[in-house]
């Protein structure tokens, strides 16, 4: 089973500034990152080195992401691959998934979101997706979509569960409202009223109802974070 700490990922991104921040962000999240700026180099690395996962931009100089994916898969390499695309084109997403991509992120994506997706695809590939997440006295059953605190069950709705899981996976790290909204609802949902705040209030109330604490800390004017400093 991999943890983020020993995951080696390849990032193929031709936009220099973006690549720099993505590399830095993933490294802060504990990934070991190799960053290349063109498709031919990405293909070369993928065929000669062992990676736990790769993020391929669809549009880049040299080979494009889709052809690399096709070649890598036809050579029998099943390394988890995420496609990143700046186009809205659904065709590419569909084609990518057909070609054997494990997931896709559309640009602009949050590095935090990319890290979460990378962890998820590697976990899935390992076949050992944890079914339970535990932090302190809080347990999250990822299969039954249930939370429990001190042994008491807290029933969460789909949205609440998605939100809580995202926060719980990165204790101590701020998630802005925008990041939470995008992760749980998608960025096209623009309700104006702050749906994230309402959902967090509901989660807290549900935990309080069974005498527990949801362990979510508000960061005023920014967002929320799950209490605790380091991932367990």
Partner 1 sequence: MTPRTRIGINRKLVRMFVPATLLLLFVFAALSWFFLQDGGYLASGSRAERPDLSAGPPCFEDGGPPPLPWEKRSQSAMDERPNPHGLGIRRHRLPLVLCAGLFGLALLGIGSYLFWLLVQREMDRAAARSARFTADVAHELKTPLAVMQSVVEHAIRHSDGNAGVERLGSDVLDEVRRLKSLVTRLLLLAQSDAGTLRLNMEKLDLSELVKLSAEDLSMITGDDPVETNIEDGIIVMADRSLITQVVQNLVSNAVKYNRHGFTISLCLVREGDVAVLSVSNGVDPVAPPDVDRIFDRFYRGDTARGSKLEGAGLGLSLAKEVVVASGGQISASIEGDRIVLRAAIPVA
Per rule CB under 8 A, is residue 144 in the interface with partner 1?
no
Per rule CB under 8 A, is residue 188 in the interface with partner 1?
yes
Per rule CB under 8 A, is residue 159 in the interface with partner 1?
yes
CB of 133 to partner 1, least distance (A): 22
CB of 96 to partner 1, least distance (A): 11
Per rule CB under 8 A, is residue 172 in the interface with partner 1?
no
Selected from 48, 76, 192, 232, the binder of partner 1 by CB under 8 A is 192
CA distance 77 to 172: 36
Per rule CB under 8 A, is residue 48 in the interface with partner 1?
no
Per rule CB under 8 A, is residue 66 in the interface with partner 1?
no
Residue pair 212/154 in contact by the 8 Å Cβ criterion: yes
CA distance 125 to 145: 21
Stretch that binds partner 1, among 19-27, 75-83, 123-131, 210-218 (CB under 8 A): 19-27
**Cis bond upstream, residue 17 (ω within 30):** no
**DSSP 8-class letter at 5:** G
CB of 200 to partner 1, least distance (A): 10
Q: Which is nearer to partner 1, 50 or 192 (CB)?
A: 192
CA distance 60 to 38: 6
Strand extents, DSSP E, the chain: 8-12, 32-36, 53-57, 81-85, 103-106, 132-135, 138-141, 146-149, 152-155, 175-176, 216-219, 223-226
CA distance 53 to 2: 11
> What is the rounded radius of gyration, in angstroms, for the C-alpha atoms of the chain?
19
Per rule CB under 8 A, is residue 174 in the interface with partner 1?
yes
Selected from 61, 129, 189, 208, the binder of partner 1 by CB under 8 A is 189
Per rule CB under 8 A, is residue 155 in the interface with partner 1?
no
Q: Which is nearer to partner 1, 27 or 44 (CB)?
A: 27
Per rule CB under 8 A, is residue 230 in the interface with partner 1?
no
């Amino acid at each position: 089973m991999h943890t983020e700490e020993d995951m080696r990922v390849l990032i193929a991104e031709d936009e220099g500034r973006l690549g720099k921040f993505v590399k830095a962000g993933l490294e802060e999240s504990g990934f070991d990152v190799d960053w290349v700026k063109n498709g031919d180099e990405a293909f070369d690395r993928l065929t000669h080195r062992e990676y736990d996962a790769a993020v391929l931009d669809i549009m880049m100089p040299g080979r494009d992401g889709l052809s690399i994916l096709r070649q890598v898969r036809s050579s029998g390499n099943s390394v988890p691959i995420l496609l990143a695309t700046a186009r809205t084109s659904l065709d590419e997403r569909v084609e990518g998934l057909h070609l054997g991509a494990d997931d896709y992120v559309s640009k602009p994506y949050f590095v935090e979101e990319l890290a979460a997706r990378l962890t998820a695809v590697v976990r899935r590939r390992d076949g050992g997706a944890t079914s339970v997440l535990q932090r302190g006295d809080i347990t999250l059953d990822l299969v039954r979509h249930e939370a429990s605190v001190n042994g008491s069950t807290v029933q969460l709705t789909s949205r609440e569960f998605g939100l809580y899981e995202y926060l719980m996976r990165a204790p101590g790290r701020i998630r802005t409202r925008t990041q939470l909204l995008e992760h749980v609802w998608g960025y096209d949902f623009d309700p104006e009223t702050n749906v994230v705040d309402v959902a967090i209030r509901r989660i807290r109330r549900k935990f309080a109802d069974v005498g527990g604490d949801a362990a979510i800390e508000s960061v005023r004017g920014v967002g929320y974070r799950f209490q605790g400093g380091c991932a367990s």
